[in-house]
Structure 1
Amino acid sequence: MTKILVIEDEEAIRENLLELLNAKEFDAIAVENGFQGVQVAKEKKPDLIICDISMPELDGYGVLQALRSEPATAMIPFIFLTALVDKANNRKGMELGADDYLTKPCKPVELLKAIDIRLKKQAIINQQQSQKLEELRSSITFSLPHELRTPLNGILGFSELLLTELDTLEPDEIKEMVEQIQTSGKRLYRLIQNFLLYAELELISTNPERIKALRNYQTEQSNSLITEQATQQVKQVQRQADLHLKLEYTQLNISAIRLKKIVEELVDNACKFSVPGTPINITSQINNNSFILSVSDKGRGMKPEQIESLGAYMQFERKLYEQQGSGLGLIIVKRIAELHGGSLNIESIPDRQTTVKVILPTNSN
């Protein structure tokens, strides 16, 4: 049964609403002030809230603000019911996250229609969230065992050899096996971190409040950060001479850790899919209030259908190239860009060149 919380300080109106909702077979709960309303909403988790604005001590705006700041109650549909009819009050309610705004006296048919619309909209949102979670669960279940098994086998295999053959091995052989164990361990660690990050990004994408919080971060010296991260990536594969940078300074509404992740994945891909001695060009520029970060390489490239079908856990032509990795890099970059109001664009000529562009809005402050 659908649970509806009514927060109304006028007893007559409160009782009328309870009678109407119960007659329509809703599980209606009513409280007489804002403080009680916030407490009951947190405890009972209603499917919808109807709230008066003009109440003593804690008014409707305060109730809405308190509930929207709590993850457990942030997504509950919220309908204001009030005698205030000016546009300023209406706009204030909507800015705080109200879903609808009805003025007193309100006809029962108007209220019931508003409730029906909000419940149906919430049902669609819940269905989309469930679908995303199911897709995420299926993707992880399908690909995680294989991706983790490969580096784990390296760790177990070489460590077993060391344990059983240690007395017969030469120092150089021991050193080589330890290096292989370390390489496999680092790969396993990065795989786990990327799987966890992708899961986190997918969950954030279903929560407007978390998206808003994500965009409140700022990075001042974007050019310095990009230079530092890109240099670190190419150094790991001894390709410092291949790196060419041409960057513009700008302030971005993105955290340093997320911007570093974008650079890490793009430069890692450029290194993996091109041969040493070929250039990796990284540029940034401001164009029409957008920050455009481009990473280009002279590698094998991607076909149009591969770009179009870009998705999580997908790795193109794996049987041909046996390229290590979960294929999550580009989709992680794409999700980070989208969550910050941006996008990812790929331009590629197979066997000649690939340019990946991340476009982010610039800080308007």
Structure 2
Amino acid sequence: MKKILVIEDEPAVRSNLLKLLKAEGFDAIGAENGLVGVQLAREHEPDLIICDIMMPDFDGYSVLTQLRQDQMTAIIPFIFLTAKTEREDLRQGMQLGADDYLTKPFTRAELLGAIATRLKKQEAVTLLQGKIQELQQLNIQKDDLLARASHELRTPLANMKLIIQMLEIISNEEQQQQYRALLESECIRELELVNNILDLHRLGSEKNSISPETLILQYWFPTLIEPFKPGIDQRQQILKIDCPPDIPPLISDRLCLEQILIELIGNACKYTPQFGKISISIYVDNSTKINCLNSIISFKITNQAEILNTELPRIFDKFYRIPNADIWNQGGSGLGLYLVQSLVKKIGGNLQVQSTQGWTTFTVQLPIQTSV
């Protein structure tokens, strides 16, 4: 309900205006003079003000001047009521910032028409201001991302430069092998960071661009997990996969879902110790609803490692990495989980995380759809 403040010193005129506005569905407030009107405008922050010009002690021009100097009331639409029709009087009001004039006597249709026009224009102004603020915030975020990305990119490059210098002066083969392994690790970290920054940019520029496909999970998922098996075997981790043969087809964006699961499975491998357990299960959950759909498919990735309660709220922040958690020294960009959260939202799913008693579980829930 739109709120309108009427500032009018004549009781009969003020009463009639308030009755008319309330009958039209407005929340109408009355002020008997200019000083009270300024006070009520600051207290209630109405959507529109209707004000008489000729009032004793504190006239309409003074009211408008006071309100336009206050940041809280400066942009409230302001309509003058006046018996004056001289050009100089109209000009004075417009120069002070009035939005419209109604000359007494006026009709009901003229009053409601002026109100409708001003409220419509104010909605457009508010929408434009919101867009401007959104663009300003995006620009701040972009600058922050650029600064932080530049810092993050510089670190692996500096490490690689140092390692190359050490390789030039070290003749011991065993030490050279160690430095080569470190060099490879830093190269992988740099490449991952660059790829994630590109993914982040693409995600921001293609917010609503998805390409749904029908995925037969029994055949698709094993191909996704296969690249992780050599590393799991090398670290002697224990992997258990549960993907029932009767799981129904899933319609989703394949590339987005692949990126989500690759990141979550990769993290499970990275943070699970030697001989630790990793469990991946896919199942239908009829007890949860997403987008009013009764059935969902859940991807649950559980690994034998715990995230401290102090760290858990920050794991989806850009560039955040849990201190001393990467026991295999694989490195990371700190963007992976932020991208996972954004991609899950993009394809209409839910993402949950739990970490307790030495175990961490990420669950991706996606609605089962019937057609592409």
- Whole-Å separation in 2 of the counterparts to 1:146 and 1:176: 26
- Whole-Å separation in 1 of the counterparts to 2:325 and 2:231: 26
Distance 1:128 1:286, change over 3 A: farther
Q: Report the TM-score, using the length of structure 1 for normalisation.
A: 0.58
Structure 1 residues 43-78: Cα deviation after superposition (integer angstroms, max 9, x where no partner): xxxxxxxxxxxxxxxxxxxxxxxxxxxxxxxxxxxx
The residue number in structure 2 matching 1:246 is: 242
Contact 1:280-1:298 within 8 A present in 2 as well: yes
Structure 1 residues 166-201: Cα deviation after superposition (integer angstroms, max 9, x where no partner): xx7255554544443233212210111112212332
- Whole-Å separation in 1 of the counterparts to 2:341 and 2:132: 23
Structure 1 residues 10-33: Cα deviation after superposition (integer angstroms, max 9, x where no partner): xxxxxxxxxxxxxxxxxxxxxxxx
Distance 1:245 1:111, change over 3 A: farther
- Whole-Å separation in 2 of the counterparts to 1:154 and 1:133: 31
Residues 10-25 of structure 1 correspond to what in structure 2 (within 5 A)?
none
Distance 1:161 1:230, change over 3 A: same
Structure 2 letter corresponding to 1:292 = S
- Whole-Å separation in 1 of the counterparts to 2:125 and 2:156: 47
Structure 1 letter corresponding to 2:215 = E
- Which of the residues 175, 196, 199 maps onto 1:197? 199
- Whole-Å separation in 2 of the counterparts to 1:129 and 1:362: 35
Contact 2:270-2:327 within 8 A present in 1 as well: no
SS of match in other structure, 1:218: strand
- Which of the residues 166, 189, 192 maps onto 1:161? 166
Distance 1:258 1:285, change over 3 A: same
Deviation at 1:264, TM superposition (A): 1.4
5+ residue gaps, structure 1, are: 1-106, 205-209
SS of match in other structure, 2:213: coil
Distance 1:125 1:242, change over 3 A: farther
5+ residue gaps, structure 2, are: 1-112, 286-293
The residue number in structure 2 matching 1:349 is: 356
Structure 1 letter corresponding to 2:189 = R
- Whole-Å separation in 2 of the counterparts to 1:256 and 1:315: 27
- Whole-Å separation in 1 of the counterparts to 2:249 and 2:117: 46
The residue number in structure 1 matching 2:224 is: 229
1:135 and 2:141 correspond = yes
Structure 1 residues 295-334: Cα deviation after superposition (integer angstroms, max 9, x where no partner): 001113331x533344222223359989632322211111
The alignment of Structure 1 onto Structure 2 pairs a total of residues equal to 247
Contact 2:237-2:276 within 8 A present in 1 as well: no
Structure 2 letter corresponding to 1:334 = Q
Contact 2:192-2:332 within 8 A present in 1 as well: no
- Which of the residues 162, 182, 186 maps onto 1:180? 182
Distance 1:284 1:318, change over 3 A: same
- Whole-Å separation in 2 of the counterparts to 1:322 and 1:170: 24
- Whole-Å separation in 1 of the counterparts to 2:177 and 2:326: 31
- Whole-Å separation in 2 of the counterparts to 1:296 and 1:320: 16
Structure 1 letter corresponding to 2:136 = S
Instruction: Kindly report the root-mean-square deviation, in angstroms, between the aligned alpha carbons of the 2 structures.
Output: 3.1
SS of match in other structure, 1:280: strand
Distance 1:126 1:242, change over 3 A: farther
SS of match in other structure, 1:254: strand
SS of match in other structure, 2:212: coil
SS of match in other structure, 2:344: helix
1:120 and 2:115 correspond = no
Distance 1:294 1:130, change over 3 A: farther
The residue number in structure 2 matching 1:277 is: 275
Structure 1 letter corresponding to 2:340 = V
SS of match in other structure, 1:153: helix
Q: Report the TM-score, using the length of structure 2 for normalisation.
A: 0.57
Structure 1 residues 183-222: Cα deviation after superposition (integer angstroms, max 9, x where no partner): 3212210111112212332x24xxxxx44332x4224233
- Whole-Å separation in 2 of the counterparts to 1:232 and 1:128: 41
The residue number in structure 1 matching 2:212 is: 217
SS of match in other structure, 1:189: helix
SS of match in other structure, 1:275: coil
The residue number in structure 1 matching 2:344 is: 337
Structure 1 residues 67-126: Cα deviation after superposition (integer angstroms, max 9, x where no partner): xxxxxxxxxxxxxxxxxxxxxxxxxxxxxxxxxxxxxxxx68656644542442243244
- What percentage of aligned pairs have identical amino acids? 20
